[in-house]
Each structure stands twice: as C-alpha cells, then as structure tokens.
C-alpha cells in the first residue's frame, strides 16, 4: 500500500529514539536525492520507491527479510544501523 508522509511518520513514531532519528534522517535524505519520487510505498518491514523497484530502508528488528518480487535495486545503506538483520532472501 502507498503511504503518505503522515503514514510514514506514524510508523517512525513507534520506533525507539535512536532508530526513529536514523529512519527520519534516511527518509529525508532519500527524498532530497530522488525529487521525482513523490511517494514511497512501505509495509511494516521496509520502505520502497512507489514503483517498488528499489528497497530503500529496512525497518524493525527481524533477523531476516524476504525481498518482494519486482525489487531490482537494494539501496546501499538500506540496512544501515540494523544489527539484527542477518539474512536477505531474494
């Protein structure tokens, strides 16, 4: 489902203080880098570009994530500051 800025803020609000600050900074930086991407799509595990071709940021504390079909690019720092993630399934 596509999320607006308000919905993304709601997800970020539920995070711990350090994770919240990092997620907010990461999403702001990505918005500045991708001015043509007005919307992002996210679920409880990750944020993607609106077309779901790029995995932008991995939320949460789960040790593994299955990358959805159709994702072509995993951003370089998608798992930055996520020490819990140990496995990505493509």
User: pLDDT tens digits for 44-79?
Assistant: 788 888 889 999 888 877 899 999 999 999 988 888
User: Could you give the CA distance from residue 25 to residue 15 in angstroms, rounded to a whole number?
Assistant: 13
- 31 pLDDT above the threshold of 80: no
Tens of pLDDT along 4-30? 566 666 666 666 666 666 666 666 666
Please state whether beta strands 2-3 and 40-42 pair in parallel, antiparallel, or not at all (unpaired).
antiparallel
Total-model pTM = 0.60
Q: What are phi and psi of 81, to 5 degrees?
A: 60, 35
User: Could you give the CA distance from residue 27 to residue 12 in angstroms, rounded to a whole number?
Assistant: 10
- 36 pLDDT above the threshold of 90: no
């Amino acid at each position: 489902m596509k999320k607006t800025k308000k919905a993304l803020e709601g997800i970020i609000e539920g995070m711990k203080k350090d994770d919240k600050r990092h997620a907010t900074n990461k999403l702001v930086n990505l918005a500045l880098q991708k001015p043509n991407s007005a919307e992002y799509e996210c679920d409880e595990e990750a944020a993607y570009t609106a077309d779901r071709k790029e995995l932008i940021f991995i939320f949460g504390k789960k040790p593994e994530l299955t990358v959805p079909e159709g994702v072509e690019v995993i951003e370089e720092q998608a798992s930055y500051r996520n020490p819990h993630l140990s496995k990505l399934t493509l």
